[in-house]
């Protein structure tokens, strides 16, 4: 390669390469953004309330009354809610895919299938439209993010959660959230979070995490930049603990805040020390909206398309994509915990080995002692026999 080809040049005036992220924003703005969010989890985990809290409007009615008299269905339904959000000249078409009935049955075998089929169908429909001679107007319901609501049991993930998350994560940007997190104490929540993170890592479930490596869509990519710091904080908070409410209450200082009211006080939805709602909303609708849309396009849709054109078998739970999971444990705090655990196990093994060696030595010592005793007894027996023989001789 010639020296000229590798030289770094500072163009005067600037060529404008540095405006690239803004261009992405402008392109998205001109086309009018479209964002499809899927929510799934058992009934009653607060999905409807969360959606209404997220978009600050009643996108979906809780229709609890109606549900109470509806017999439980054997299948998982797919509800599509559409809305247009307008803010400062930017309009975003929002599609919310709700999945009532997921996990509600006694036998939840393959409950994930309708969700997987829906995601695959949207990729398929988009692919077919692309193959048409006129491709201008596209009906696009490809899912950009899946919010998976985890029941706040405090114990861990159920096999159904693990299986479903595994499958969803190969097809879309999966974001697990702890539902109704106000039902857990701060300490229980931390333990629950760390258990979920451990399972996610052990099972290699690829959840969406803000990009930390260089080459991401962020403007400023130095490791110490505020954007990277923000990304790191978001990763540390995963899985996000959410609380939803459609009501406002006075916070005691004359300001109405969205909250859940309890006899002992308010759980404020937008208070970072009460829950992670603000972080999740920022990730979904502000900081990483474009990243979610682009990874859906460039990773999930492209992989689906490639596999379909290659004739892949969509029954395989790992298809269409088995992308490497981004590590949740980049955080030094978790690294420290992991190292401490490793040290604890090594120390335990060493102590056991030592105990075993001591025990072995004791057995050897005992055997020597017993051998000594045996020799004594044998010599005594010999002596006695000698005496008996002498006595018999004398007698004769
Ligand atoms: P969905 O079936 O998952 O859509 O759940 P809903 O949104 O209909 O909520 C079911 C019930 O849980 C309602 O009574 C809500 O008021 C309540 N709820 C919703 N979000 C929360 C939350 O964050 N914390 C608590 N404690 N209750 C919630």
Separation of CA 311 and ligand 1 centre (Å): 43
Residues 295-322 have pLDDT tens digits of 898 889 988 888 888 765 544 544 554 4
Separation of CA 44 and ligand 1 centre (Å): 6
Mean pLDDT over 348-363 rounds to 85
Q: Is the pLDDT of residue 124 over 60?
A: yes
Residues 178-208 have pLDDT tens digits of 999 999 998 999 999 999 999 998 888 888 9
- Give the DSSP H or E segment for 195: helix 186-202
Q: What percentage of residues in the chain have a pLDDT greater than 70? A: 73
Is the C-beta atom of 276 inside 6 A of ligand 1? no
- pLDDT, position 77: 73
| CA-closest residue to ligand 1 atom 12 | 46
- The CATH class for the domain spanning 20-326 reads alpha beta
Is the C-beta atom of 56 inside 6 A of ligand 1? no
- pLDDT, position 144: 93
Separation of CA 332 and ligand 1 centre (Å): 35
Which ligand 1 atom is the nearest neighbour of the CA of 243? Answer: 23
Mean pLDDT over 240-261 rounds to 88
Domain range list for the chain: 20-326, 329-396
- pLDDT, position 218: 46
Q: Where residue 30 falls among pLDDT bands split at 50, 70, 90?
A: low
Please state which of the ranges 74-83, 91-100, 182-191, 250-259 shows the lowest mean pLDDT: 74-83
- pLDDT, position 1: 38
Is the C-beta atom of 62 inside 6 A of ligand 1? yes
- More confident position, 369 or 286: 369
- pLDDT, position 346: 77
Is the C-beta atom of 96 inside 6 A of ligand 1? no
């Amino acid at each position: 390669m010639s020296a000229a080809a590798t030289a770094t040049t500072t163009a005067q005036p600037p060529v404008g390469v540095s405006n690239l992220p803004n261009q992405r924003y402008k392109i998205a703005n001109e086309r009018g953004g479209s964002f499809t969010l899927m929510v799934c989890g058992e009934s009653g985990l607060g999905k409807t309330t969360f959606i209404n809290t997220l978009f600050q409007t009643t996108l979906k009615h809780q229709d609890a009354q109606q549900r109470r008299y509806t017999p439980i269905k054997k299948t998982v339904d797919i509800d599509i809610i559409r809305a247009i959000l307008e803010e400062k000249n930017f309009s975003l078409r929002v599609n919310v895919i709700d999945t009532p009935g997921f996990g509600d049955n006694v036998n939840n075998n393959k409950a994930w299938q309708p969700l997987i089929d829906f995601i695959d169908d949207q990729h398929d429909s988009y692919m077919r439209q692309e193959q048409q001679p006129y491709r201008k107007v596209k009906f696009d319901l490809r899912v950009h993010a899946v919010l998976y609501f985890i029941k706040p049991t405090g114990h861990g993930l159920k096999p159904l959660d693990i299986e479903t998350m595994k499958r969803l994560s190969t097809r879309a940007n999966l974001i697990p959230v702890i539902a109704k997190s106000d039902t857990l104490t701060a300490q229980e929540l931390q333990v629950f979070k760390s258990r979920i993170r451990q399972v996610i890592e052990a099972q290699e479930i690829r959840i969406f995490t803000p990009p930390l490596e260089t080459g991401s869509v962020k403007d400023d990519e130095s490791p110490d930049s505020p954007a990277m710091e923000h990304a790191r904080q978001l990763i540390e908070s995963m899985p996000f603990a959410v609380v939803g409410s459609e009501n406002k209450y006075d916070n005691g200082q004359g300001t109405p805040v969205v909250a859940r009211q309890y006899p002992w006080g308010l759980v404020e939805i937008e208070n970072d020390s009460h829950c992670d709602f603000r972080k999740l909303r920022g990730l979904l609708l502000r900081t990483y909206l474009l990243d979610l849309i682009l990874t859906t396009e460039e990773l999930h849709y492209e992989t689906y398309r490639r596999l379909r054109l290659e004739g892949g078998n969509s029954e395989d739970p790992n298809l269409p994509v088995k992308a490497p999971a981004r590590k949740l444990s980049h955080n030094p705090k978790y690294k420290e915990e992991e190292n401490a655990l490793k040290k604890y196990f090594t120390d335990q093994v060493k102590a056991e080995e030592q105990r075993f060696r001591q025990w072995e030595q004791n057995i050897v010592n005992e055997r020597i002692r017993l051998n000594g005793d045996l020799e004594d007894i044998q010599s005594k027996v010999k002596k006695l026999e000698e005496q008996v023989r002498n006595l018999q001789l004398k007698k004769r």
